Structure 1
């Protein structure tokens, strides 16, 4: 006797039996289905042994809390996306703008002096500002001391031999020594322009400067 439908082979039946998705419900039970089940069970219960509805009520409460949490998460995600889109629109207006931002690269114009801001959280002595390019050290500037906070210095565009260097991108490295003789890095802020804006996976905004250097939005001190 053939126990399989005429259109179904034994192999097809075995494949379907081994496939959990073939027997999965079309949809997940919701609150409406849960209440209907609870009402039906109460209508058909044994009058001499009535069921305890506490478990059902507890499950219903948990289901309601889960649904509310899911809806809240969806709302928060929508708000986050909206906020990120607003950030992008605001940040896009910075493209092409001149900014003063924390960075290690400076775009030098030949024949002109370049202004650099140095910032330290504590007083330092024997401070050095080293300017380099792909060929090595171009100029080393020395400062006997540097007060806490921000100090503006200038590079006249000449190398250590007193010759004007070509225009282009140069790297800055600044450091000094604290009261205990420990070497400390000094932050540099340079004038540049914004080339593009992007959003990182964590939602933070990143700016690509004209030098190719990428910095965070909070690295910008001035916009003009």
Structure 2
């Protein structure tokens, strides 16, 4: 898949200030044409009162100044957005850890973390493909804290799954059968960035990750679980599963 960076939507369409300025210019042309015609045909013995059209000219000037200020503001906003987009473009090709309910299999392997916010009696890890088929299922750690998993991309029939995005579910229960809160984080390679909303988003294949979801940024996927801090201040554990 080719790396991609999408443009800012505001750059592909005319700004509101530009459209307003054009409308103002058209209205001013109409006004001046009408005023010129009226002056040419006025009665020299009873000339027009200049107060009204002078007031209208002042109003045009005021609106023109406001539109100019809006245009300058839009220019600053576009410059800021372009600067941010250029900054996040440097994420392409690097690996991020982000809060997510999906995992990315890349080069036949997937790495992810889960945090148990309390001790559990039993923990179950499930990974499904886009058809809902369970391709991986395993018991997980039960101690409170952050736990890292490296899955070798082998499904339950012993076949390698294709690279791509998969749904991750980690569920845990305590000794009384009550659910334990779990947070899952995915680790994947950034294939592109987009700017479709209020903030830039990173693309992990077909999945968008907001910058606010990113926890760690690395050049390589390896050792991400070792380098991240444990949310619960417990030591992070790591396991390799197949």
Residue 217 of structure 1, CA deviation: 2.1
Alignment of 1:3-82 (within 5 A): 27-29=26-28, 33=32, 46=46, 51=49, 53=51, 55-56=52-53, 58-82=55-79
Query: Which residue of structure 2 aligns with residue 139 of structure 1?
Result: 137
Residue 96 of structure 1, CA deviation: 0.7
RMSD (Å), alpha carbons: 4.7
Distance 1:63 1:124, change over 3 A: farther
How many residue pairs are counted as aligned between the two chains?
Answer: 182
Which residue of 170, 173, 177 corresponds with 2:169?
Answer: 173
Query: Which residue of structure 2 aligns with residue 5 of structure 1?
Result: none
Runs of 4+ in 1 over 6 A off after TM superposition: 123-127, 162-165, 181-185
- CA distance, structure 2, for counterparts of residue 66 and residue 124 of structure 1: 65
- Structure number, greater radius of gyration: 1
Counterpart check, 1:192 vs 2:192: no
Give the alignment's TM-score, normalised by structure 1. 0.57
Give the alignment's TM-score, normalised by structure 2. 0.53
Distance 1:78 1:158, change over 3 A: closer
Distance 1:96 1:33, change over 3 A: same
Residue 113 of structure 1, CA deviation: 8.5
- CA distance, structure 2, for counterparts of residue 62 and residue 124 of structure 1: 70
Alignment of 1:58-137 (within 5 A): 58-103=55-100, 104-107=102-105, 114-118=111-115, 129-133=125-129, 134=131, 135-136=133-134
Query: Which residue of structure 1 aligns with residue 199 of structure 2?
Result: 204
Higher relative contact order (CA 8 A, sep 6+): 2
* Structure 1 unaligned regions, length at least 5: 1-25
Question: Could you say which structure has the higher strand fraction?
Answer: 1
* Structure 2 unaligned regions, length at least 5: 1-24, 219-242
